[in-house]
Structure 1
Amino acid sequence: MTPALAALLADAILVLHVGIVAFVILGALAIALGGALRWAWVHGFRWRLAHVLLMVFIALQAWLGALCPLTVWEQALRRRAGESVYAESFIEHWLSRLIFFDAPWWAFVAAYTAFAAFVLVLWFVVPPRRRPSRR
């Protein structure tokens, strides 16, 4: 793999990572708002299951002290591309600042745990519904 391709793939993983963060945060807000406004689509079982499982996975990672697999993959690609900490692309520069913060590890564990608890509460307050089978 060429360094240029590795850098491009690392940027693509960062974009995907930002999309996942947006899905988790905006999804929770949509569920809470949609429950209050009686939006039927927020009860969709498959996307709600993906949402809650993803948030539980993130919180468990934090508790275990593990980095997100996407972060590990992105960092490996950046090393392969020969990029140093200060040599970053436009995408990496701005998207990294959007989703990565400089804080002690315990702050992330607390934040991810609290958000996972919020998502789990939403599971019961605005319960997902399965569609009736078409038999």
Structure 2
Amino acid sequence: MRLLADTVLVIHFFFVLFVVVGLCLIWIGAFRNWQWIRNFWFRILHLLAILFVAIETLFGKVCPLTTWEDLLRGTRTTQPGFIQRWVSRLLFYDFPETVFTVIYLIFAMAVILSMIVIKPTLPQKYSSKPPEPFSDT
């Protein structure tokens, strides 16, 4: 069960990495004119990922990945393994829940703003050419 719990923890880490690093790369890529950051499906998945986190937090729900990891581990009082110890240190902090709610909502607004300012390119069958950086067309 420990290996499965560690796998869920690593998936959780990569989910967080996708959301956080994804937004940074979108803004860097806009200035550097990287076309891949305008990929419609990447941008939609990125938006849905942070909206899921923000909405579940607003409703006071615990992340399903955290719940699954806890269930697989049984109890957190056991001695953590290498992966659990290091990835948990990167993911989990001891702050009031309202701090995380505010952070997730601000981050979600930043992702929504990036969708407006740095428009994704529609799939080819819907669009004839990609938009210019920071343009409305």
Picking from 105, 114, 132, the partner of 1:113 is: 105
Task: Indicate yes or no: 2:55 matched with 1:60.
Answer: yes
Q: Please, which runs of 5 or more residues in structure 2 have no aligned partner?
A: 127-137
Picking from 82, 95, 108, the partner of 2:87 is: 95
Task: Indicate yes or no: 2:96 matched with 1:85.
Answer: no
Picking from 7, 14, 18, the partner of 1:23 is: 18
Partner of 2:41: 46
Q: 1:35 to 1:85 in 2, by over 3 A?
A: same
In terms of fraction of residues, the more helix-rich structure is 1
- Secondary structure at 2:25's aligned position in 1? helix
Note if contact 2:70-2:76 (Cα within 8 Å) is conserved in structure 1.
no
Using the TM superposition, give the Cα deviation of residue 86 of structure 1 relative to its aligned residue in structure 2, in angstroms: 4.5
TM-score (norm 2): 0.88
4+ runs of 1 displaced by more than 4 Å? none
The alignment covers a number of residue pairs equal to 126
Taking the aligned partners of 1:11 and 1:104, their CA distance within structure 2 comes to 25
Aligned Cα root-mean-square deviation (Å)? 1.3
Q: 1:84 to 1:39 in 2, by over 3 A?
A: closer
Q: What do the CA deviations read for 1:60-89 (whole angstroms, capped 9, x no partner)?
A: 01111101000000000000xxx5425111
Using the TM superposition, give the Cα deviation of residue 106 of structure 1 relative to its aligned residue in structure 2, in angstroms: 0.2
Name the aligned partner's letter for residue 96 of structure 2: P
Partner of 1:3: none
Using the TM superposition, give the Cα deviation of residue 133 of structure 1 relative to its aligned residue in structure 2, in angstroms: 1.9
Taking the aligned partners of 1:44 and 1:28, their CA distance within structure 2 comes to 13
Q: Please, which runs of 5 or more residues in structure 1 have no aligned partner?
A: 1-5
Name the aligned partner's letter for residue 110 of structure 1: V
Higher relative contact order (CA 8 A, sep 6+): 1
